[in-house]
Amino acid sequence: MPRPMQRSRLCWVLGVGLLAVGGCRHMVPAPYARGQGPQTAQLLDHTGAQLPALQVSKAKVVANRTLRGNLAFIAEAPGRFRGSVDVAGNELVTLAFHEQGYALRYKMDAFPTGFYQGPPSACAVEALLGISFDTRGLVDLVLGGAPVIEEPHEVLDQKWNKRGGYESLTIANDRFVQELRFGWVAGDWRVMGGQLWERAGNEKGRRLWTVEHIELELEQGVYLPTKTKVSTPGKRRDDTVVINYKERDADPAFAKRRASGGDGGDGGDGGDDGGWEDGGDDPWEEDGEWEDEDGGWEDEGAAPVEGAVPVEGAPVEGAPVEGAPVEGGEGAPAEPAPAPEPAPKPKAKAKAGPPPIPPEFQLEPSGLTVRGDLCR
């Protein structure tokens, strides 16, 4: 029979063994053989937008586990978005941005209520979600991808995480360090989120944000998350925003209209699309000046007026002039060669300009005070 000290040591060993066995049960083996992991470029290809456009007509947004609202938005790759948060039908904030700038209707209390607009900026995104993503990063996020730091960047680490059951890729540029996580879902790699830190030498500095795509599901041929959670460090604990998707269309009508040559001039689908407004005048209408293709109208001589009386002493048209040689007679001068036709004037080339912004991605003040650029 073991002594008390031996019994105690035996119990400790058995306890550690049971914990180890219990931990192993949660380990997820890699979906590939040793040394056969995915290429870095293959993983990064899955971070961008996973579909061309998306319309979310109904979603719930929860901030810091207590503040709740309704979210509706449309997004189109690579950088167009319009979204609105409301409570009981009362608009709190609406943000629209595209490649030429942003517009924001703001009715909360973090800064003065009003209408703001300016060039594309991450601070406009922060006004909507409370987290600073660049505009393209937000579009990638809501279209099933994830924001990625700017190139050039280097790979610091890549490995399979057994506890989490995902492939971890860590990259860095001169300002940031970022970890991206990828799950093996339905025979392909799907981005599941990641984290971003400031770079401090060769180490991770202050964490800036964490993104998680939760419960990926197949929808119209694309795997999209049922929830997206974004968190940033707060004073006591992380500030979080959770989007719960309820109704969405991965093949929205506004994108199909443009793909088929339509102008989308009705400002969206109407109905349950979050109340998108018409953007004023049709931005697809050409407003350039009309030009004469032949270089302008030319004078061709005045035509004779029918029934006009000839002035006394004036030569009558067609009558022979005294002393003039008779046509075809002896001494008649040779007929002059016809003047060469002027070369056609080359058409002026149309000036190339930025493409028109579709009306569904435009935003008007709607009676709010215009306050300029929030991000200046």
Evaluate the CA torsion angle 253, 254, 260, 261 in order and state its sign: positive
At residue 68, the pLDDT reads 94
Cβ atoms of residues 47 and 145 within 8 Å:
yes
Residue with tokens 């719930």: 60
Q: How far is CA 138 from CA 49, 73, 148, 364, in A?
A: 10, 12, 10, 22
Predicted local distance difference test score (pLDDT) of residue 289:
32
Tell whether 317 is covered by a domain.
no
For residue 292, count CB atoms less than 10 angstroms from its CB and return exposed for 0-12, middle for 13-18, buried for 19 or more. exposed
185's enclosing H/E stretch is: strand 176-185
Does 315 map to a domain? no
CA distance 186 to 121: 36
Residues of the chain under the 50 pLDDT cut = 4-24, 264-315, 319, 321, 324
Residue 212 sits at the vertex; the CA angle it makes with 206 and 217, to the nearest 5 degrees, is 170
Does residue 25 sit within a domain? no
Residue 309 lies in a domain: no
**What total of structural domains would you count in the chain?**
1
Supply the pTM of this predicted model.
0.70
- Answer whether residue 67 is part of any domain: yes
Note down the domain range covering 143. Answer: 42-285+358-372
Backbone phi, then psi, for 311, in 5-degree steps? -75, 140
Tell whether 341 is covered by a domain: no
Q: How many CB atoms lie within 10 A of CB 156?
A: 14
Could you give the residue ranges of the DSSP H alpha helices within the chain? 4-24, 40-44, 122-129, 135-142, 253-259
Is 26 within a domain?
A: no
For 333, the 3-state DSSP assignment is coil
Q: Does 121 map to a domain?
A: yes
Task: Say how many residues make up the chain.
Answer: 376
Which of 148, 169, 150 lies closest to 158, judged by CA? 169
Query: The domain spanning residue 108 has which CATH number?
Result: 2.50.20.10
Position 302 scores a pLDDT of 41
User: Which one, of 79, 85, 88, 37, lies nearest residue 62 by Cα?
Assistant: 85
Phi, psi (deg, nearest 5) at residue 253: -65, -35
The answer to whether the CB of 209 falls within 8 A of the CB of 230 is yes
Residue 133: Cβ-neighbour burial (10 angstroms; 0-12, 13-18, 19+): buried
